[in-house]
Structure 1
Amino acid sequence: MNLILLTIGYPHPKRDVFVGNEIDFLCKAFDTIYILPVQAGKILPKKLKNGDKYKPHEKVKVWDVEYTIKDVLFISPRLIGLAIKEAFKAVFQKSTIRYKILYLWMIFRWIFLTSITLKNLSKLFEKEGIDPKDTVLYSYWFHFLAFAISLFKKPVALKISRAHGSDLYRELYPQPCKEFIINRIDKVFTCSKMGADYINKKYNTDKAVVSYLGTFNDYEINLNKKRSKPFKIVSCARVVSVKRVEKIIDGLEKITDYEISWIHIGDGDLFGNIKNYADEKLSKKENISYNFLGFMPNDRITELYAKENFNLFVNTSSSEGLPVSIMEAMSFGIPVVATDVGGVREIVKDGSNGYLLEKDFSADRLSSLIKRFIEMPEIEYQRFCIEARKTWEEKFNAQKAYEEFVNTVIKLAQSKKGAGLKHGK
């Protein structure tokens, strides 16, 4: 059986980096993995080339996304009709003018992104001679990529999608065509229980199930480690508005009586602005040192965690699915302070392996929790470390998480194929 995986860039560098965690498991279960990396531009997808040079496994083949002016101009009447229907829904729904405009803009982009994804998908089947009935279509995101596989007409073995956060909750971002997608794919795997409950209730379905993402950790972990001096804080997130890295800076600015070293991993559109903000707020504080490391490959992040005795991980996002970055930190026994958004409370147990911040927390609140970890007795701090590692081992160990996911997908495909044979299809 084959699998076609639609991503927003993986395996190209810096694109969907966490997809790589499950590739080896998929390769064990499928004969060939075809990756279609469709990274969205402002309107049209970016033409990602030479993807095969980044492929992570001999069973993997990477498709170079291609399109011509003809492909851009010719959009199927069905897709245009669905877009118009969705646009009317956006105009007449009860929401703010800003939300309606964002909804209409997203629908406009989706027409082109989905159309070109579908055309590349069809070309992939044709060029590679892929048997649709022996192929699973898998979208890593529950957005225009999932829309494309829901519209794909060939009778494939199974259509599935993952769902995270920004591609899931209407309250965060407009979610065009979700009822259409759900009605035409077989299963949605959410990265949190909250996400699965949300989909099943919102769209009156039972197709959403929880499938936690996971991380690897083969390092020897010392859970009896003592806190360092200075106290070492690490954060790992894209430097974009939703991640609110500036709030970490605001919290650290409030601390005057303890020495702290803070490292941030990740880059993004606001990287320069955030560095300047940190210089403005923290450069004159003798008790605070900080360093922005920018983008780092996943293996280098884990190497850094193994080498450095980080005492606390901080996440200040305004919205999340269930962050893999927190899983990675906990796998090293690092306690966490994070905002109580999305599925975060499914991994951060308040007062056990970390502490939860309310979404609109104050700088004083963050600084008080950081100081709580600095001031607590060593035995209490070690309990937090032990519980962090235990949480990872029980729920977010990639070996368990991805084996269960792949086994579920194979069983679903075989079950659907068997049902089709019974009905003479």
Structure 2
Amino acid sequence: MLSTQPTLLANDKNQTARFDTIVVLSHECPFVSGQPSAESYLEREMQVLAEHADRVIVFAHEGWFDGWPIKAGLPENVSAFGISDCATIPSESFAGRLKRLGCLAKHLGAVWSERRRITSRETLFAATSFLQLGDMKAQRMLEVIAEQKIVFSGRVLLYSYWFNEPILAMQSLARCIEKQSGMRPVCISRAHGYDCYDYRSPCGYNAFKRWMAEKLDAVLVCSQNGANYLKERDPEVSGAYRVGRLGTADTQPQDPSRKGDAFSIVCCSRAVSLKRVDRVIDALLVLEERGHRLRFTFIGDGDQLGVLKEKAALLKKTEVDIKGALPNEKVFDYYSSTFTDLFVNASEYEGIPLSIMEALSFGIPVVATNVGGVSEIIHDGVCGKLIDRDFTDEDLADAIEAFVAMDEKKVEAMRAAARRNWEQSYRLKTNAEEMLRLAYALSSASDSKRRDAQGIV
């Protein structure tokens, strides 16, 4: 077993977890595509990473990147490279099939570990596409390292924000660093929703989860629900999975004296089918029939935005403000300046949404569907209300109406509980530094004892 030193390093909140280099594998961060980002947590976490490393190198691997600006205010010790080559995304052409078959031959060990799950043409395509994309990303990443003459030494953390193809590329980079420096880097990934649950995949299969868990020092899953799912899926590697919560930047609770005359409801999400914002509008129509005066604000963009606007036009007594996509800073500005009575999330699937964390940080109670890890952040009857995934319009209307009719003392208690829940579990800086302490403790363990280190926090 490990000595006590790594345990103390992982648990001591005063311990400085310092790295010579942190390498981050992202989708787009810190590049700005002009579209809503799924990596707003990582954008803010970058500030914390930069405080704990001599340099941070980011390889963003999804998007075109040409002409995309880098997010303003990035720390001086952070550099970023876009490595994606969208023109070579795997296809069903004859040439594409040959390439994928070549990947199968190259990664026979990984394929063998998945033999019981690759049971159809669809799952075979998912597996071979995973391998091809991972190899492409690895090749481009190593090319950039050679072109930029990047040399690694000392303590290195490889950190993927997503639990999918970048992990294959990470393994190639880890071998390169170990050969270059003589030291094995510590390898950690986060896992969220679509990259965690098989049922979120179009074919019901997320490729190579067990293989990736075997190769990584730790997988930090954003919810206990997700961690339990992955452990039950592959009990042989259950020790790799642990809860690593995300979080949001610090704020100040909203001022109740700024409350308006109409009961105000906010949704903040992508305007896509699984978020079911249109169902929220259906519930508002029911509440209008019951005589309620409301204000509804939607923040977000997506392929259903036009549909939402058309449906919202049916509301006659409700003041509607569809803002479209806003940068994360503007979302915070909105909450800081505009009192909100209730946040609503009607998603069909979730991990734990950052949008709910943001609402709680401002002391806003939440009505949400009981899916994924949502019940871990919304304590029913304490800081919000949970409804069934398969709710009716009347069910959602009833849940909202309960807050409309709630007495002032209960509202104050709910809002205080919302803020307290955020302070205890979803403060970004606290959770980011916890991840870094874990990584530091793992990097302090010898290679032969890395797997023993799965239980040190």
Which TM-score tier does this pair reach, normalised by the shorter chain?
0.7 to 0.9
Match of 1:33 among 50, 56, 59: 56
Superposition TM-score, scaled by structure 2 size: 0.81
Tell me if the contact between 1:86 and 1:176 (Cα under 8 Å) persists in the aligned partners.
no
Match of 1:60 among 78, 103, 106: 78
Q: Tell me, what secondary structure is at the counterpart of 2:330?
A: helix
Matched, 1:212 2:235: no
Change (3 A) 1:184 1:299: same
Distance 1:383 1:143 in 2: 41
| CA RMSD of superposed structures (Å) | 2.7
| CA deviation vs aligned residue, 1:347-400 (integer Å, no higher than 9, x gap) | 100000000011111110000111110111111111111110110111111122
- How far did residue 185 of structure 1 move? 1.1
Distance 1:321 1:393 in 2: 19
Distance 1:177 1:412 in 2: 23
1:225-304 equivalence runs, <5 A: 225=257, 228-256=260-288, 257-279=291-313, 281-282=314-315, 285=316, 287-304=317-334
2:181 is matched with none
Tell me if the contact between 2:365 and 2:384 (Cα under 8 Å) persists in the aligned partners.
yes
- How far did residue 85 of structure 1 move? 5.8
Matched, 1:115 2:135: yes
Distance 2:131 2:282 in 1: 41
2:150 is matched with 129
Distance 1:372 1:71 in 2: 49
Q: Tell me, what secondary structure is at the counterpart of 1:31?
A: strand
Distance 1:384 1:70 in 2: 51
1:423 is matched with none
Fraction of identical pairs, as percent? 27
**Structure 2 residues without counterparts, runs of 5 or longer:** 1-19, 91-95, 179-183, 451-457
1:92 is matched with 119
| CA deviation vs aligned residue, 1:27-62 (integer Å, no higher than 9, x gap) | 1111111111111xxxxxx33135674361111111
Matched, 1:178 2:209: yes
Superposition TM-score, scaled by structure 1 size: 0.87
Distance 2:139 2:86 in 1: 11
2:25 is matched with 6
- How far did residue 221 of structure 1 move? 4.2
Distance 1:351 1:122 in 2: 52
Distance 2:405 2:84 in 1: 57
Q: Tell me, what secondary structure is at the counterpart of 1:268?
A: coil
Change (3 A) 1:67 1:259: closer
1:232-381 equivalence runs, <5 A: 232-256=264-288, 257-279=291-313, 281-282=314-315, 285=316, 287-381=317-411
Change (3 A) 1:372 1:49: same
Q: Tell me, what secondary structure is at the counterpart of 1:408?
A: helix
Tell me if the contact between 2:100 and 2:131 (Cα under 8 Å) persists in the aligned partners.
no
1:400-415 equivalence runs, <5 A: 400-415=430-445
Q: Tell me, what secondary structure is at the counterpart of 2:198?
A: coil
Distance 1:336 1:28 in 2: 33
1:116 maps to a residue whose letter is M
1:255 maps to a residue whose letter is L
- How far did residue 115 of structure 1 move? 2.0
Distance 1:241 1:69 in 2: 27
**Structure 1 residues without counterparts, runs of 5 or longer:** 40-45, 94-99, 421-425
Change (3 A) 1:343 1:32: same
Change (3 A) 1:333 1:175: same
1:230 maps to a residue whose letter is A
